[in-house]
Structure 1
Amino acid sequence: MGFDEKIEDKIIDREKSLSSAEEYYDETFQEPTTEETLHRGLKARQISMIALGGAVGTGLIIGSGTALVRGGPLGLLLGYSYVGFVCYLVMVSLGEMAAFLPHKKGFAGYATRFVDPAFGFALGWNYLMKYLIVTPNNVNAAGVVVQYWTQSVHIAIWMVIFILFIFAINLLGVRVFGELEFWFSAIKVIALIGLLLMGIIIDLGGNPHHDRIGFRYWHAPDGPMGSYLLDQVHNSKTAIFCGFWAVMVNALFAFIGTELIGVTVGEAQNPRKNIPIAIKRTFWRILVFYIGGVFVIGLIVPRTNPNLFVATKSKTGAAASPFVVATTLVGIKVLNHIINAAILVFVMSAANSDLYIGSRTLYGLALEGKAPAIFKRVNRMGVPYPALILCTMFCTLVFLNVHASGAKVFGWFVNLVSAFGALTWMCILFSHIRFMKALKSRGMSRDDLPFKAPFQPWGSWFALISTGIILFFKGFDTFLPFNTANFVTSYIALPTFFWLWLGYKLYYRTKLIPIESIDLVTGLRAIDEEEEKYLAQETEKGPRTRLGKIWDSL
């Protein structure tokens, strides 16, 4: 008996037992009505690119300079590899739940359903706050990138233009948004491939100086590891460890964003097939670009170069990118403007997808009754326009940059985003652990799921503990010496999440859902009907041409 037959039996049993007081049930588990629903218009290739566009941005192109200074080339590679593996475990855990139940309520829906309504409320608002911050962060980065070319136009004007641009794209509907974001992200992929090839060529001696660099910067006087804060002059073991830990924190910020696939499932075509495909593709692309990218950066740029971006400096944009520093060192100047244009595409694409995810997260909260009902309204194109307008309004946070340096604002946003993002990862992982226990209690094998996450259940536990440790110690440098602003932005997410969870729990008197009472089937019938309707429409279109199949597989 396959997955569909087993689920159908479970649905029938579930419908017979809805009146049982022992069975936990919430009417918000049902899919929304046609009048207030999103449109399933995203294809697998678009979902993959949206996830890539939202994840690959300033963390690699600009922020990796800070990580190189503090951790050295080896520390940079090890830190990004470790957090990259944790990111993979988060992705597959999310993919298992999303392929089984591709609903339109985002992560909060899984937390509400598998853990506790209060837990879902806290996660939903935590994730929303992350995107209310990360979107202006990328707009802020775009503004300072443009200043590399000219400072004759006030940065506030550029920010207004960028905000209006991403708002207009999101307002056009998911089909237009998905196609435009696909091409934006495709440009990013081409640019990244070009930067990686350029770095390898420079390292092997293909530069104006004909200087074969090799692993020269790994054999610097202070070794392949960096040092940070404590006893940097003498390069003590403590300073080396602090440098490596700073890389871990930086890598966490860089990888956060890959999980946004869990929000796109609500608008994905044939989600049980396309979501697993998108997750697998996204992982390999990010693995190559991030791990490969930081490895190349460690080869061609010395960690002691004063031009590398550090959050305490005012220099940003192309001049602060490790790739531009590398071209400058070997005498290549013409590429700087091209790289700066690529960076602008990077951050604008990320801001575009961030605004999309923020609006859908608020929409999902409204569907569950955890946000004002006005935010579940959609227009005829399936765009939750009230949620989109509110999220766009928060983009005005970028005007903090008018009274403070771009680098300082960037550092504050990085602290906030990484904290909110880490909490989101932990909630996803805990929800997945509960999901696996619920399947086991019902005698349902994970082998029958549309997508089975590897390395489980130990993978989710490992990623949960690792992310928790990084989150707890992420602000260690705020104490050496103590910096009030950085301390607050590093840790404000923790009490915020706690009070959201506790306040909802006390007000509604919710309890942790017993494993045996977790609802695994409500709403599945509606999702199955949507899937059958989509497949019927595809059948009516006739067989795909070879070119069409290749296009869809991109």
Structure 2
Amino acid sequence: MSSSGVDYAKSPSPPQYATGSDAEKNEFGTPPARVASVSVGALDQTHRKLKSRHIQLIGIGGTIGTALYVQIGKGLLQGGPASLFLAFSLWCSVILAVTLCMAEMVTYLPISSPFIRFAGRWVDEAFGFAAGWNFFVFEAALVPFEITACNVVIHFWSEAVPTAAIIAIVIILYALINVLAVKWYGESEFWAALGKVFLIVGLIVFTFIVMLGGNPKHDRFGFRYWKDPGAFNVFYHTGSLGRFMGFFQCLIQASFTISGPDYVSMAAGEAENPRSVMPRAFNAVFYRLTTFFMLGSLCVGILVPYDDPTMAEAFAQDKPGAAASPYVVAMGRLGIPVLPHLVNAMVLTAAFSAGNSYVYCASRSLFGLALEGKAPRFLTVCLRNGVPIYSVAVVLLISLVSFLQVSQGSATVLAWFVSLVTASQLINYSVMCLTYLCFFRALRAQGIDRSSLPYRGFLQPYAAWYGLVATFVMAWMGGYTVFLPGNWKVPSFLFSYMMLFICPVLYMGWKIIHRTKIVKPEEADLVKDLAGIEEYTKNFVVAPAKSRFERILDLLFG
């Protein structure tokens, strides 16, 4: 008996840290000392090689993109600093509710594309089909969005580089990174996302220093702009209604900008020791992101007034890169010459890293759909290193849509993708909350005590109801401005509401063709794939860190 409690009575040597699939280990007689993958479906060949630090930074990296550094300024223009801060704080509470739902379900059953497959098992097969394709569209659309953002950021320095060349280079880099073993994808995303963390922390510290007078003008401005021009701006209307609409615009901005639980959960099928790693990852990602988003929304309202002409002009004229960033605008106001270029470089890293995360999540969601028979079977094919190669290829083909900006212009294309992904993201969160409510009912109906689960979220099922109502309402209200007098545009309407109409069609189509039924709580399958997860957890032995540096990283992100 080893010190870990795993019996290796017939093994004459210390346990080997196997890295192949379960089938390979059985074939060669390798003791399952460290199971690197677990069969979670008939065709799941992915490998469990993502550590806690990888998953945490994948969650952070997928969430922090250009929206936190640049597009957040549009919310400031429309609602003012107080509205922006209140809206971001409120939406963080919604994300907490969704996180509690996902953490409990995914820790119980950490399989590939978990919430997509849970929706089919515990709600309705047709519901899982619609939810899965919605999530795939959401993630796949974000890839060309970030590629477009990369092009815009690079043109901050020079217009000489052709747009088509930038797009092609970014797509090729995504392809190279995502065909490597997931361990190397996780490693690359870890360091890229860590750069984002350093950037937002640096900008928060920068705000604190300059507001207290640490700037070339020695101007101790503090919260001056909350008084003049004021804490709240009006949008479209005047008076109280205008201020409320300004706040609502900020809430829409927050619903697009803030996420997290979906990116963490998509890594569950390739997470090392997920029963231990996933709860910590969910908690760490939520609390860190909440800190970044709340402080970030507060900082931009401190640095720049909502009526700043430079920022308004930058958004109106689609100025490239970080030119519209409130941070860069503030640096210009204070006479700081070098930092804008540094911020733009880090924003480029943020955009590239976010797009890389979206390629990963989109390909894994498509892979999960194929495993459940809801997408073509060939998409389940994996390379020997566990990468679902055809799923990755499909996502990269979709990313070619980003070439539209060559003729349409970056601002137009960015606006289309923002509208599309905002609606899809909110539908996705509604799906997660509804699936959890069905999971909660199934546990109760089948006599399973929630205290026996590996992780139990608090305030349930009330948190799930709160998340469901909030995300469902926002999904329908997110594009309301298109109905205001003088604002009607067909592309804006389609991209804002297309998925809200397509999802019911997908649901009814699958339901009619396959004659599926809503799953009764007492009949929900809560044990499929559970035995493999339990066996993996029982036999898992933590591999010792290879170096002091790895031990430090494990300590920081363990």
TM-score by length of 2: 0.90
Which residue does 2:53 correspond to in 1?
45
1:348 aligns with 2:352: yes
Which residue does 2:25 correspond to in 1?
none
Greater alpha carbon shift after TM alignment, 158-167 vs 235-244: 235-244
Task: Map 1:382-393; keep pairs closer than 5 Å.
Answer: 382-393=386-397
CA distance in 1 between counterparts of 2:469 and 2:317 reads 33
> Cα offset for 1:331?
0.7
CA distance in 2 between counterparts of 1:151 and 1:552 reads 43
Partner SS state of residue 63, structure 1: helix
Which residue does 1:122 correspond to in 2?
130
Which residue does 2:65 correspond to in 1?
57
Deviations 1:484-539 (A, max 9, x none): 2211111111011111111000100101001111111121101122223432xx3x
Which residue does 1:242 correspond to in 2?
245
Deviations 1:84-132 (A, max 9, x none): 1101111121010000011123321110111000000000000000111
> Cα offset for 1:483?
2.0
Does the 8 Å contact 1:314/1:405 carry over to 2? no
Does the 8 Å contact 1:316/1:407 carry over to 2? no
Which residue does 1:196 correspond to in 2?
204
Deviations 1:135-193 (A, max 9, x none): 11001001110000111111111111011111110111101000111011111111111
Which residue does 1:168 correspond to in 2?
176
Task: Map 1:114-193; keep pairs closer than 5 Å.
Answer: 114-193=122-201
Q: Kindly provide the amino acid, as one letter, of the partner of residue 339 in structure 2.
A: L
Which residue does 2:234 correspond to in 1?
227
CA distance in 1 between counterparts of 2:381 and 2:392 reads 11
CA 339–258 in structure 1, closer or farther in 2 if over 3 Å, else same: farther
Does the 8 Å contact 2:545/2:551 carry over to 1? no
> Cα offset for 1:30?
7.7
Which residue does 1:18 correspond to in 2?
none
CA distance in 1 between counterparts of 2:65 and 2:214 reads 27
CA 32–311 in structure 1, closer or farther in 2 if over 3 Å, else same: farther
CA 543–400 in structure 1, closer or farther in 2 if over 3 Å, else same: closer
Does the 8 Å contact 2:315/2:324 carry over to 1? no
TM-score by length of 1: 0.90
Deviations 1:287-326 (A, max 9, x none): 1111011101110111111333676541231111111011
1:486 aligns with 2:492: yes
1:500 aligns with 2:494: no
Task: Map 1:31-110; keep pairs closer than 5 Å.
Answer: 31-33=40-42, 36-110=44-118
Which residue does 2:554 correspond to in 1?
552
Structure 2, unaligned runs of 5 or more? 1-37
Which residue does 1:359 correspond to in 2?
363
Q: Kindly provide the amino acid, as one letter, of the partner of residue 553 in structure 2.
A: W
Q: Kindly provide the amino acid, as one letter, of the partner of residue 405 in structure 2.
A: N
Does the 8 Å contact 1:315/1:407 carry over to 2? no
CA distance in 1 between counterparts of 2:365 and 2:96 reads 22
Does the 8 Å contact 1:52/1:258 carry over to 2? no
Does the 8 Å contact 2:122/2:435 carry over to 1? yes
Q: Kindly provide the amino acid, as one letter, of the partner of residue 490 in structure 2.
A: T
CA distance in 2 between counterparts of 1:69 and 1:519 reads 49
Does the 8 Å contact 1:54/1:258 carry over to 2? no
> Cα offset for 1:445?
1.9
Does the 8 Å contact 2:62/2:354 carry over to 1? yes
Partner SS state of residue 62, structure 1: helix
Q: Kindly provide the amino acid, as one letter, of the partner of residue 90 in structure 1.
A: V
Does the 8 Å contact 2:102/2:261 carry over to 1? no
Q: Kindly provide the amino acid, as one letter, of the partner of residue 322 in structure 1.
A: P
CA 298–542 in structure 1, closer or farther in 2 if over 3 Å, else same: closer
Which residue does 2:472 correspond to in 1?
468
Does the 8 Å contact 1:51/1:261 carry over to 2? yes
Does the 8 Å contact 1:261/1:279 carry over to 2? yes
Does the 8 Å contact 1:276/1:451 carry over to 2? yes
Does the 8 Å contact 2:101/2:432 carry over to 1? yes
CA distance in 2 between counterparts of 1:525 and 1:501 reads 30
Does the 8 Å contact 2:39/2:45 carry over to 1? no
1:395 aligns with 2:399: yes
> Cα offset for 1:548?
4.8
> Cα offset for 1:242?
1.0
> Cα offset for 1:402?
1.1
> Cα offset for 1:376?
0.3
Query: Out of 501, 513, 516, which is 2:519 matched to?
Result: 513
CA distance in 2 between counterparts of 1:215 and 1:356 reads 41
Which residue does 2:320 correspond to in 1?
316
Which residue does 1:288 correspond to in 2?
291
CA distance in 2 between counterparts of 1:304 and 1:388 reads 44
CA distance in 1 between counterparts of 2:40 and 2:83 reads 46
CA distance in 2 between counterparts of 1:30 and 1:520 reads 16
CA 201–434 in structure 1, closer or farther in 2 if over 3 Å, else same: same
Partner SS state of residue 455, structure 1: coil
Which residue does 2:262 correspond to in 1?
259
> Cα offset for 1:357?
0.5
CA 544–393 in structure 1, closer or farther in 2 if over 3 Å, else same: closer
Query: Out of 371, 375, 378, which is 1:371 matched to?
Result: 375
Deviations 1:440-494 (A, max 9, x none): 1122221221111112111110111011111111111112222222111111110
Q: Kindly provide the amino acid, as one letter, of the partner of residue 59 in structure 2.
A: A
Query: Out of 297, 300, 309, which is 1:297 matched to?
Result: 300
Which residue does 2:413 correspond to in 1?
409
Which residue does 1:14 correspond to in 2?
none
Partner SS state of residue 55, structure 2: helix
Does the 8 Å contact 1:433/1:460 carry over to 2? yes
Deviations 1:15-54 (A, max 9, x none): xxxxxxxxxxxxxx98224x64111110011000001000
Partner SS state of residue 307, structure 1: helix
CA distance in 2 between counterparts of 1:97 and 1:299 reads 39
Deviations 1:355-380 (A, max 9, x none): 00000000000000000001000000
Which residue does 2:19 correspond to in 1?
none
CA distance in 2 between counterparts of 1:380 and 1:154 reads 37
Partner SS state of residue 425, structure 2: helix
Which residue does 2:279 correspond to in 1?
276
> Cα offset for 1:404?
2.1
1:437 aligns with 2:441: yes
CA distance in 1 between counterparts of 2:549 and 2:347 reads 32
> Cα offset for 1:547?
6.3
Does the 8 Å contact 2:65/2:354 carry over to 1? yes
Does the 8 Å contact 2:260/2:285 carry over to 1? no
> Cα offset for 1:437?
1.0
CA distance in 1 between counterparts of 2:522 and 2:532 reads 23
Deviations 1:255-290 (A, max 9, x none): 135422111100001101100000111011101111
CA 199–516 in structure 1, closer or farther in 2 if over 3 Å, else same: same
Q: Kindly provide the amino acid, as one letter, of the partner of residue 167 in structure 2.
A: M
Does the 8 Å contact 1:73/1:295 carry over to 2? yes
